[in-house]
Structure 1
Amino acid sequence: MPRDLKPFDGVSPYGASYGGGGGAPVQTIDLRRVMVALRRQRRTILLPAVLLGGLGLTYALAKPETYSAHSSLLLDSNVNRSVQQAGGIDTAALPSERIENARVVLESDKLAYDVLDRTGLQDNPSFMDPPRSGFTTAIGQAISTVLRPVAWVRDQITLLTTPAEVEAPAGLAADAARMDPSIAPIDPMLRLAAMRLRGDIEIYRVGQSSAVAVSFTSHDPVIAAEVANAYADAYVQDILVTNAESVGQTNAWMRTRLNELQAQASAAADAAERFAAENGLVELSSGGLLTEQALNELNSGLTAALTEAARAQAVLDTYDRAVAGGVEGLTNSDSSLAIGGEMSEELRARLDTYNDVRARLQRLLSTSGPDHPQVAGLRRTLATTAERLFVELEAMRAEAQSALDVANARVKTLQESVEQASQRNSAQAANLVRLRALQEEAATLSALYQQTLTRSQEIEQQQSFPVSNVRILSYAQVPTSPSGPAVVRTVLAATLLGLFFGMGIAALREWRDRALRTAEDLTEHSGLRFLGYLPMLPRMRRSRPRPHPVPRPAPAPQAPSSAPAAEAPMGSTLPVPARVRPPVIPVPVPVLHYPDSVYAETLRHVRLAAEAAGGSPPVTGVTSFHPYEGRSSVAFNLAGQLGVGLRSVLLIDADSRARGLSRMLGLDRKPGLTDAVAGRGDWKDMLVGIADTNLVVLPCGLEQGGASDDLLTGRTLAQIAAEAGGDFSRVIIDVPPLYPVAQGRAILQELPQFLIVSEWGRTPRSMAETVLAGDPRLETRCLGVVYDRVSLRHLRLYLMPEAMENYLGRSKSYFSMKGR
Structure 2
Amino acid sequence: MTYPTFPLDNRMNPKQPESGGNEFIDVENLLRMALRQTKVVAVSAVIALLLGIVYLQTTPPTYVATSRILVDENLSKVIDEVSPIASSMQTEAAMLSQIEVLRSARLAAVVADKLNLHRNEDFMSPPTSLVQRTIGQVRMSLSYMLSLVRPADPATQARRQEFEELDEATRDALMSSSRRRAAVGRLQANLLAQRVGRSLVIVIGFQSHDPNLAAAITRAYAEAYLGDQLNASFEATEQAAVWLEGRLTELRESSQAAALEVERYRAENGLAETQGQLVSEQQLSELSAQLISAQADAARALARFEQFEVMTSAASSPDISQMVAPVGVEVGPAFGELRTRHQNLSRRKADIEANFGAEHPQAVALGREIAQITRLMVEEIAQITESYRNEYRVALARERTLRQSVADATGRSAQANQSQVRLRELEQQATALRALYQSFLDRYEQTTQQQSFPVAKVRVISEATPPGGASSPRSIMVLGLSLVLGLMMGGALGALNEFNERFFRVGKDVSEGLGFRFLGYLPLLSAHGAKHGKKRGKDGRTYLAGDEPLALAATDHRRRMRVSVDAPLSMFAETFRSAKIACDVVLQANSSKVIGMISVLPGEGKSTVAANLAELLAASGARTLLIDGDLRNPGLTRHLGIQVQTGVIDAVVNPDNWRSAIKYNRQTGLAILPGLVRGRFSHTSEALSSAGMRRLIEDARTSFDYVIVDLPPVGPVVDAKAFSPLVDGFIAVVEWGKTPRAIVHSAIRNEPLIASKVLGVVLNKVRLDKLPRYGSFGGSEQFIKRYSSYYLDDPEQQASSGKAQARAKTETERA
TM range (shorter): 0.5 to 0.7
Shift of 1:201: 3.5
- In structure 2, the CA distance between the partners of 1:37 and 1:805, relative to structure 1 (3 Å rule), is farther
Instruction: Name the SS of the counterpart of 2:674 in structure 1.
Output: strand
Q: Describe the superposition over 1:417-441 as per-residue Cα deviations: whole angstroms up to 9, x where unpaired.
A: 7666655666677555444444445
The answer as to whether partners of 2:632 and 2:684 remain within 8 angstroms in 1 is: no
Paired with 1:534 and 1:232, the residues of 2 have a C-alpha distance of 76
Pairwise mapping of residues 138-153 of structure 1 onto structure 2 (< 5 A)? 138-146=134-142
Alignment-mate amino acid for residue 803 of structure 1: I
Partner of 2:494: 506
- 2:207 is the alignment partner of 1:217: yes
Partner of 2:710: 734
Paired with 2:215 and 2:146, the residues of 1 have a C-alpha distance of 42
- In structure 2, the CA distance between the partners of 1:507 and 1:310, relative to structure 1 (3 Å rule), is closer
Partner of 1:516: 504
Pairwise mapping of residues 175-574 of structure 1 onto structure 2 (< 5 A)? 187-203=177-193, 214-245=204-235, 280-289=269-278, 291-293=280-282, 422=410, 431-443=419-431, 446=434, 467=455, 470-478=458-466, 490=478, 493-522=481-510, 526=515, 528-536=517-525, 537-538=527-528
The answer as to whether partners of 1:759 and 1:787 remain within 8 angstroms in 2 is: yes
The answer as to whether partners of 2:291 and 2:402 remain within 8 angstroms in 1 is: yes
Shift of 1:121: 0.5
**TM-score, structure 2 as length reference:** 0.60
The answer as to whether partners of 1:50 and 1:498 remain within 8 angstroms in 2 is: yes
Paired with 2:575 and 2:290, the residues of 1 have a C-alpha distance of 129
Partner of 2:593: 618
Moved more, 241-250 or 728-737: 241-250
Instruction: Name the SS of the counterpart of 2:517 in structure 1.
Output: coil
- In structure 2, the CA distance between the partners of 1:532 and 1:113, relative to structure 1 (3 Å rule), is same
- 2:784 is the alignment partner of 1:803: yes
Alignment-mate amino acid for residue 579 of structure 2: A
Q: Gaps (5+ residues) in structure 2?
A: 8-21, 160-175, 304-389, 532-553, 585-589, 776-780, 804-815
Paired with 1:187 and 1:805, the residues of 2 have a C-alpha distance of 82
Partner of 1:589: 558
Partner of 2:674: 697
- In structure 2, the CA distance between the partners of 1:140 and 1:256, relative to structure 1 (3 Å rule), is same
Paired with 1:809 and 1:237, the residues of 2 have a C-alpha distance of 92
Q: Describe the superposition over 1:769-797 as per-residue Cα deviations: whole angstroms up to 9, x where unpaired.
A: 89877799977854432223334555466
Shift of 1:458: 6.8
Partner of 2:606: 631
- In structure 2, the CA distance between the partners of 1:251 and 1:522, relative to structure 1 (3 Å rule), is farther
The answer as to whether partners of 1:640 and 1:695 remain within 8 angstroms in 2 is: no
Shift of 1:284: 2.0
- 2:605 is the alignment partner of 1:609: no
- In structure 2, the CA distance between the partners of 1:653 and 1:448, relative to structure 1 (3 Å rule), is farther
- In structure 2, the CA distance between the partners of 1:632 and 1:439, relative to structure 1 (3 Å rule), is farther
- In structure 2, the CA distance between the partners of 1:308 and 1:77, relative to structure 1 (3 Å rule), is closer
The answer as to whether partners of 1:672 and 1:686 remain within 8 angstroms in 2 is: no
Shift of 1:760: 1.5
The answer as to whether partners of 1:522 and 1:768 remain within 8 angstroms in 2 is: no
Q: Gaps (5+ residues) in structure 1?
A: 8-22, 168-185, 315-400, 542-584
Q: 1:72 aligns with which of 59, 67, 70?
A: 67
Pairwise mapping of residues 4-43 of structure 1 onto structure 2 (< 5 A)? 4=4, 33=32, 36-38=35-37, 41-42=38-39
Partner of 1:387: none
Paired with 2:237 and 2:603, the residues of 1 have a C-alpha distance of 88
Q: Describe the superposition over 1:294-322 as per-residue Cα deviations: whole angstroms up to 9, x where unpaired.
A: 655666788899999999999xxxxxxxx
Moved more, 121-130 or 715-724: 715-724
The answer as to whether partners of 1:648 and 1:695 remain within 8 angstroms in 2 is: no
Instruction: Name the SS of the counterpart of 1:75 in structure 2.
Output: strand
- In structure 2, the CA distance between the partners of 1:425 and 1:209, relative to structure 1 (3 Å rule), is closer
Paired with 2:529 and 2:299, the residues of 1 have a C-alpha distance of 138
Paired with 1:795 and 1:310, the residues of 2 have a C-alpha distance of 107
Shift of 1:227: 0.9
- In structure 2, the CA distance between the partners of 1:601 and 1:116, relative to structure 1 (3 Å rule), is same
Q: Describe the superposition over 1:434-478 as per-residue Cα deviations: whole angstroms up to 9, x where unpaired.
A: 444444455455556666666777777777665556433454445
C-alpha RMSD over aligned residues: 6.2
Paired with 2:6 and 2:185, the residues of 1 have a C-alpha distance of 71
Shift of 1:141: 1.0
Alignment-mate amino acid for residue 620 of structure 1: I
Task: Count how many residue pairs are aligned between Structure 1 and Structure 2.
Answer: 643
Instruction: Name the SS of the counterpart of 2:689 in structure 1.
Output: helix
Q: 2:728 aligns with which of 737, 746, 752?
A: 752
- 2:108 is the alignment partner of 1:112: yes
The answer as to whether partners of 1:59 and 1:136 remain within 8 angstroms in 2 is: no
**TM-score, structure 1 as length reference:** 0.59
Instruction: Name the SS of the counterpart of 1:508 in structure 2.
Output: helix
The answer as to whether partners of 1:534 and 1:599 remain within 8 angstroms in 2 is: no
Moved more, 138-147 or 288-297: 288-297
Percent identical residues: 30
The answer as to whether partners of 2:118 and 2:183 remain within 8 angstroms in 1 is: yes
Alignment-mate amino acid for residue 502 of structure 1: G
Instruction: Name the SS of the counterpart of 1:589 in structure 2.
Output: helix
Paired with 2:793 and 2:637, the residues of 1 have a C-alpha distance of 37
Paired with 2:247 and 2:698, the residues of 1 have a C-alpha distance of 119
